[in-house]
């Protein structure tokens, strides 16, 4: 079978190997779609945290069961499944408290362990979610939307609250839509005018501001000087991660969804005055995946997936997905 491996930064190679052997407690899966996310782009560029080369990328997966043993979920050969790519140990303190998303020994497919950019893969059965009623593209975007769902669940927002989401990339866009579903008033911030137009036109975000055009004053006027009860960074940009407090209300929360490899610096008086709650949000849990699956039909998948290429053509297209002017939001690799 064929697979694509990132040998080193900026270097993909397509290779062949034997079909994997299914171990006890695993299912053999045929991959139909792999979504490309910021983690993949950063890994290719050489600036992804928690990453070693060579690595087979791919953790946003739509798959079909080729072979599976009897299991508690009732899954069978031929079923379509979504893969939760977070392989947790089940025995560390985080796992014992239900926080499998930040397991002390976590192995994320496509990051710490080889992922789904291959024709067939063997995965633990407990990481599979049935998805026979979803399209391949819907299946493949459940994982990035679950990232946003988890961030929302980490917050204490209430219906009618104003929240700020910094970054109109795939994670930010998903977070915005799910926040609307929970009843929040969403304020989107970005530097890319096309992305700001997209979240207004396709997601229905009412307030979208250019971060370079004094967003603090605009958010202040909009909220009658209260500012946002919760701010979410979905960029991973050091500047954005350090400035999010400026948009936050007194007594509010700042949730860091994006990941930077750099050290962050905050003015203690500024964060102390607001009694800031600073939280990180990592990966997602089963509950988050289930929430997204329940609401996936409310999400504009067709406009969200802007670029789609066949598996054998991925290498020649990947560089273009790093360039904002190509208009890429979500690129998808097709194995069919």
Residue 30 tokens read as: 């045929």
Is residue 8's pLDDT more than 90? Answer: yes
Q: Do 91 and 40 touch, CB atoms closer than 8 A?
A: no
Query: For the segment 174-201, what is each residue's pLDDT rounded down to a tens digit?
Result: 999 999 999 999 999 999 999 999 999 9
pLDDT at 250: 98
- pLDDT-derived band at 246 (thresholds 50, 70, 90) equals very high
The rounded percent of the chain whose pLDDT value lies above 90 is 94
Q: Could you give the C-alpha distances from 263 to 38, 63, 202, 237, 241, in angstroms and in order? A: 20, 38, 35, 11, 10
Query: For the segment 276-318, what is each residue's pLDDT rounded down to a tens digit?
Result: 999 999 999 999 999 999 999 999 999 999 999 999 999 999 9
- pLDDT-derived band at 50 (thresholds 50, 70, 90) equals confident
Q: How many CB atoms lie within 10 A of CB 82?
A: 26
Q: Could you give the C-alpha distances from 224 to 21, 189, 228, 249, 290, in angstroms and in order? A: 61, 18, 10, 11, 36
Give CA–CA dist 3/15, Å, rounded: 5
Q: Report how far Cα 67 is from the mean position of its chain's Cα atoms.
A: 28
Q: What's the predicted TM-score (pTM) here?
A: 0.95
Is residue 22's pLDDT more than 90? Answer: yes
Residue 211 tokens read as: 């971060």
Write the DSSP symbol of residue 21: P
- pLDDT-derived band at 46 (thresholds 50, 70, 90) equals confident
Give CA–CA dist 170/173, Å, rounded: 5
- Three-state SS letters, 230-253: EEEECCCCHHHHHHHHHHEEEEEE
Domains present along the chain, CATH in parentheses: 2-132+300-334 (3.90.180.10), 147-280 (3.40.50.720)
Query: For the segment 62-106, what is each residue's pLDDT rounded down to a tens digit?
Result: 999 999 999 999 999 999 999 999 999 999 999 999 999 999 999
Higher pLDDT, 46 or 132: 132
């Amino acid at each position: 079978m064929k697979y694509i491996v990132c040998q080193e930064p900026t270097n993909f190679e397509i290779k062949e190997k034997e079909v994997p052997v299914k171990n006890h407690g695993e299912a053999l899966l045929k991959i139909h779609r792999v979504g490309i996310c910021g983690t993949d782009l950063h890994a290719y560029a050489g600036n992804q945290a928690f990453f070693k080369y060579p690595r087979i990328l791919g953790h946003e997966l739509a798959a079909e069961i080729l072979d599976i043993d009897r299991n508690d979920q009732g899954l069978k050969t031929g079923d379509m499944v979504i893969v939760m790519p977070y392989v947790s140990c089940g025995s560390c303190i985080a796992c014992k408290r239900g926080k499998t998303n930040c397991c002390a020994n976590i192995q994320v497919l496509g990051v710490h362990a080889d992922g789904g950019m291959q024709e067939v893969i063997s995965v633990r059965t407990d990481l599979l979610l049935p998805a026979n009623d979803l399209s391949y593209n819907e299946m493949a975007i459940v994982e990035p939307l679950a990232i946003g769902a988890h961030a929302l669940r980490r917050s204490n927002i209430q219906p009618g609250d104003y929240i700020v989401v910094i970054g109109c990339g795939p994670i930010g866009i998903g977070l915005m839509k799910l926040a609307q579903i929970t009843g929040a008033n969403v304020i989107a911030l970005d530097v890319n005018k096309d992305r700001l137009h997209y979240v207004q036109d396709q997601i229905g975000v009412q307030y979208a501001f250019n971060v370079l055009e004094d967003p603090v004053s605009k958010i202040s006027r909009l909220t009658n000087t209260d500012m946002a009860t919760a701010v979410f960074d979905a960029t991973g940009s050091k500047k954005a991660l350090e400035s999010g407090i400026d948009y936050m209300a007194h007594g509010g929360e700042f949730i860091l969804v994006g990941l930077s490899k750099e050290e962050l610096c905050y003015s203690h008086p500024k964060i102390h005055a607001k009694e800031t709650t600073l939280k990180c949000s990592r990966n997602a849990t089963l509950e988050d995946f289930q929430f997204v699956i329940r609401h996936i039909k409310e999400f504009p998948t067709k406009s969200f997936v802007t670029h789609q290429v066949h598996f054998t053509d991925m290498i020649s297209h990947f560089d273009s997905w790093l360039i904002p002017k190509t208009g890429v939001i979500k690129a998808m690799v097709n194995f069919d």
